[in-house]
Amino acid sequence: MNVLEKALHWKHTQKIITFVIILNAAVLGILTNRTLSAEEVLFLEAIDKACLVIFTIELIAKLLVYRRNFWSDSWNIFDFVIVLSSIIFISSSVSVIRAFRIFRLLKALAEFPELQILVSSMLKAIPSMSWALLLLFIIFYIFGVFGSTMYGDTFPELFGDIGGSMFTLFQVMTFESWATAVARPIMEVHAYAWIYFLIFILLTAITLLNVMVGIVVEAVGSISEAAKQKAADSLARLTRLQADWENFRRRTAQERLAEKDRAAEKLVLSLLPVLDDMERACKHAAENSSDDAAVMQFVEGVEAIHDKMYATLNREGVEVIDPVGEAFDPMVHQAVGREENHDVFDETVAQVYQKGYRMGGKVIRSAMVTVSCGGPKRPAPEPDPNSPDDTGGESAPSDAAAGEGVG
């Protein structure tokens, strides 16, 4: 099924079908020549059947690919009727059935947008044209009756009955030898016949035919505007789809990056307890087995592994939070106890029970610490002298000047 769909949507498929349609139309035209030899007729009939095979393959492929949607296209229905009738009557002696395939040439014309607009305009103008044609028929009938009554006796070959009169008037309207064959002979007998013909030509050839042309032109204009509006709507829809696609692509990329960061963070969090255990083991061995050379050699190996693991994590943006002696920050530290110490500032980190870690600027694990208390209050941070909001330096002279003035 995918192969058929790709074949139908191949950029050269429609060009090939159009060529076959034109070839088939040319063959059917050549077959109308009665002077062809039997060999030439057989050759052309073989080409005609080959074209029918191609049309049939195209029809079956469309039925298999489009299925129910096949019947929503009027050209597909037209193809189906023509090809099916050609297959049914392929061996029929009724040549009219084969000639029906000449109408497939209209499908080739549909490949050209300008011709398609003209055909659509003509179809759209049919309702309005029908009323104009009805009015034209009424004028023909009225003037035909007048013509038969006034000129039927002297010119029965032109106005002998209503049918002949209307045919003569049609000749006059199309200006086909109307002056030499119709008007002047009658005017030689009926001097005022020119009034009859002048009024008829003004009403039909000049007025009504121009009205019909105007109807078609108006239909062409409306179809063209509709096509332009449809193209503009399609372009706007395409622009929106492109914008939606760009937004989706960026959002998907951000989600992938966020998912990657979450996965990396999850992996790092799972490795942190391993680093903690290594540090505790090395510390315990150093405190209790410092005299044992074998144990200390083993500890050095574990420390080397620990340092290598930390270096690897550090390259991925992982940083240790070891805040001994720093001011307590509840956004980074987790207080698990308090120690009274009058020698340091209050709210200072005294001990770290468990190191914290930061990854890419984000705290992934807070440091578990004890906080000092009972000491002096920590002074407020000094303002930045380069800060534009710092007005302390400017207000001091003013205050001093004010003091001197009071003294």
Spatial distance between the Cα atoms of 317 and 361, rounded to a whole number of angstroms: 8
Contact 351, 370 (CB under 8 A): yes
Residue type, 352: V
Specify whether the CB–CB gap between 309 and 271 falls below 8 A.
yes
272 burial class (0-12, 13-18, 19+ CB within 10 angstroms)? middle
Answer yes or no: is pLDDT of 69 > 90: no
Predicted confidence band at 164 (pLDDT cuts at 50, 70, 90)?
A: very high
What does the DSSP 8-state code read for residue 100? G
Average pLDDT, the chain: 82
Q: What type of residue is 197?
A: F
Tokens of 340: 């009274």
Compute the distance between CA of residue 296 and CA of residue 285 in angstroms, rounded to an integer.
Answer: 7
First vs last C-alpha separation in the chain:
103
For tokens 């002979």, the residue is 185
What CATH code is assigned to 115-246? Answer: 1.10.287.70
Tokens of 120: 């659509």
Mean predicted confidence (pLDDT) in 165-173:
93
Bridging pattern class, strands 367-373 and 333-340: parallel
Which pLDDT score, from 0 to 100, does residue 386 have?
Answer: 64
Locate all alpha helices (DSSP H) within 202-337, ordered by sequence.
209-288, 293-315
Q: Is the dihedral of CA 294, 297, 301, 306 positive or negative?
A: positive
Phi, psi (rounded to 5 degrees) for 332: -120, -30
For the range 142-145, what are the long-range contacts, defined as Cβ-Cβ under 8 Å and sequence gap of 24 or more? Answer: 143/169, 143/196, 143/200, 144/169
Q: Under DSSP, is residue 320 helix (H, G, I), strand (E, B) or coil?
A: strand
Name the CATH superfamily housing domain 2-111. Answer: Voltage-gated potassium channels. Chain C (1.20.120.350)
Instruction: Please give the radius of gyration of the chain, using alpha carbons only, rounded to the nearest integer.
Output: 49
- Any residues with CB less than 8 A from the CB of 352 and at least 6 apart, and which? 322, 323, 324, 367, 368, 369
Q: Looking at residue 384, what DSSP letter applies? A: P
184 vs 296 pLDDT, higher one: 184
Q: Is 378 within 8 Å of 367 (Cβ atoms)? A: no
Q: Is the pLDDT of residue 398 over 50?
A: no
17-35 pLDDT, tens per residue?
888 888 888 888 898 888 9
**CATH number, domain 319-379:** 2.30.22.10
The confidence score (pLDDT) of residue 382 equals: 67
The span from the CA of 76 to the CA of 65, in Å, is: 13
Per-residue pLDDT tens digits for 329-369: 888 888 888 888 888 888 888 888 888 888 888 888 888 89
One fold for both 2-111 and 115-246? Answer: no
Q: Can you give the pLDDT at residue 110?
A: 57
The C-alpha atoms of residue 31 and residue 49 are separated, in whole angstroms, by 13
- Kindly list the distances between the CA atom of residue 393 and the CA atoms of 379, 396, 399, in Å, as whole numbers in the listed order: 19, 6, 11
Given pLDDT bands bounded at 50, 70 and 90, which one contains residue 403? very low
Nearest alpha-carbon partner for 364 in 274, 269, 251: 269
Query: 387: which 2 tokens?
Result: 């800060």
* 401 pLDDT more than 60: no
**CA geometry: angle 363, 369, 371, nearest 5 deg:** 125
Domains of the chain, by residue range, sit at: 2-111, 115-246, 319-379
Find the mean pLDDT for residues 190-207.
92
- The number of C-alpha atoms within 13 Å of 313 and in the hemisphere containing its C-beta is 24
